[in-house]
Amino acid sequence: MEQEKIYLHDYEEKLLDTREDLQEYLDHIKATDKWVTPTVNECQVLGLDLQTNVEEVLKINKVSISNDDVMATIENENHFSLYVNNLFGNLVHPVRYTAFPDIEARAGLYGRAIENSIEKQDIQVLPVRIKAFWLSQCFALNAELCKILIRDGKVSSMKSKKYQPFMQWDVISHTENRLSSIFPEYEFSAGRVSHEGLVVEYKLNAKMMEDGFANTLSQFGFGLTAADINTRLIVSTSDIGSSCVSASPIMEVQGVPMRLGKRIELRHDVGNTLEMWEEVLTNIAVSLQEAEDKVEELGNISIVNAQSVFETMAEELKIPKKISQNIQFIATSAIDIYLALNQCVDDMAGDLNLSQMIDLREKVARYLYVDYEAYDRRVGV
């Protein structure tokens, strides 16, 4: 059987340096992605382990990817393949690590026994074939439709009937269509893709807004001009994990990305559309203006115990001390501390995967709205 062209292997991430790189990826998944909608009870899970005769599995089940990619599922996950009756000409597709939570949810199985794959001193791992048997038995009880994404030859997700797939090429098209009307001079900046999701960064070139931020920060001793400020928008979409399309405003201050404003998002739920996403995106300009007001508010809050407040927040965010210890304060304002937290995220970027980076940025963004004076009083006791 002819093998499929693979764009990304498991756990691989690719940087998209140009808009052409992004388009190449979008063209690939548009041509090769498969969404299928069997009932859950039409599906079975096959247990694969290191003792499995892979050659025999490939021969009998007509798996359409390479032996190496099948072995990656077995060696890295020690888990499963998914078999769907009468949908793929009885093809078997190995399960990518991203789909395990969905598979367990469709089976209605939760807890350590079914989820754990790492053996510990006093806790053993349930054998793969037994897990597969349990999952298949529970699948048989569920006659609801499910939505399965096959990407790069493997099952990437297995969603419920309430899930609304937003094709990534359509997400980008609708996003850029709306940006062209709100920020006419926007341009593609960079992108990053893995099997967990797609993240695209746009430079908004919002000169008036950047002038405003520069003036606001200059009031608090930053000494900035509009040339030191870049307004950006991070757009992410995923059929894995978060299962939503979102946009996060970022103000880059002298090269340091500072997350601003509340994230705008639309869940991948039945009834939601990408036309609704375009409408949601119109709130970006308002979100940035509200963030500028909040920055000014934080700039007017003097913090006596700045170092202790920063260290407390860094610890709450689980920022490694090898990163946070590089930042030292004497007396400062709340906005200095917030900017320092964002500096830490930027310093950690090389050590984080796509999902971890998005998650940490959103956690830091919440600190734009916390009570810094309450932190100051608490650590000063």
Q: 285 and 362 share a domain?
A: no
Q: 187 and 252 share a domain?
A: yes
Check whether 57 has a pLDDT greater than 60: no
Percent share of the chain, pLDDT over 90:
50
- Rounded to whole angstroms, how far apart are CA atoms 9 and 145? 28
Q: 224 and 372 share a domain?
A: no
The C-alpha torsion from 178 through 184 and 185 to 186, rounded to 10°, is: -10
Q: Cα 181 to chain center, whole Å?
A: 26
Q: 281 and 226 share a domain?
A: yes
Give the pLDDT of residue 285.
85
Give the pLDDT of residue 121.
83
Check whether 132 has a pLDDT greater than 80: yes
Note the pTM of the prediction, 2 decimals: 0.84
Check whether 235 has a pLDDT greater than 90: yes
- pLDDT tens digits for 71-95? 665 555 545 566 665 444 556 778 8
DSSP 8-state symbol, 76 = I
**Last-in-domain residue among 138, 160, 182:** 160
Token pair of 365 as six digits? 């963004």
- pLDDT tens digits for 298-341? 999 999 999 999 999 999 999 999 999 988 876 689 999 999 99
- pLDDT class of 158 with cuts at 50, 70, 90: very high
Q: 197 and 278 share a domain?
A: yes
Q: 155 and 244 share a domain?
A: no
Q: Report H helices in 152-206.
A: 168-182
In degrees rounded to 5, what are phi and psi of residue 250? -135, 135
Q: 291 and 203 share a domain?
A: yes
- pLDDT class of 344 with cuts at 50, 70, 90: very high
Q: 151 and 233 share a domain?
A: no
**What number of other Cβ atoms are within 10 A of residue 215's Cβ?**
15
Q: Which of 217, 192, 281, 221 is nearest to 245 (CA)?
A: 281
The domain tally of the chain equals 3
Check whether 271 has a pLDDT greater than 80: yes
In degrees rounded to 5, what are phi and psi of residue 38? -80, 175
Q: 147 and 251 share a domain?
A: no
Question: Cβ(112)–Cβ(123) under 8 Å?
Answer: yes
- Among 46-60, 126-140, 245-259, 327-341, the least confident range: 46-60
- Rounded to whole angstroms, how far apart are CA atoms 87 and 200? 34
- Rounded to whole angstroms, how far apart are CA atoms 48 and 349? 35
**Last-in-domain residue among 128, 160, 192:** 160
Question: How much is the average pLDDT of 7-19?
Answer: 91
- Rounded to whole angstroms, how far apart are CA atoms 268 and 89? 29
Q: 249 and 320 share a domain?
A: no
Cα 263 to Cα 82, 246, 297: the distances in Å are 35, 7, 20
In degrees rounded to 5, what are phi and psi of residue 269? -115, 145
Check whether 70 has a pLDDT greater than 90: no
Compute the 3-state secondary structure of the chain and give helix, strand, coil in percent, each to the nearest 5: 45, 20, 35
Question: How much is the average pLDDT of 110-128?
Answer: 84
Token pair of 78 as six digits? 């020690």
**What number of other Cβ atoms are within 10 A of residue 27's Cβ?**
12
Q: 132 and 113 share a domain?
A: yes
- pLDDT class of 381 with cuts at 50, 70, 90: low
Give the pLDDT of residue 82.
63
Mean pLDDT of the chain: 85
Q: 38 and 155 share a domain?
A: yes
Give the pLDDT of residue 19.
97
- pLDDT tens digits for 272-292? 999 999 999 998 888 888 888
**Last-in-domain residue among 116, 134, 160:** 160
SS3 for 124?
Answer: coil
Structural domain boundaries, residue 320: 301-381
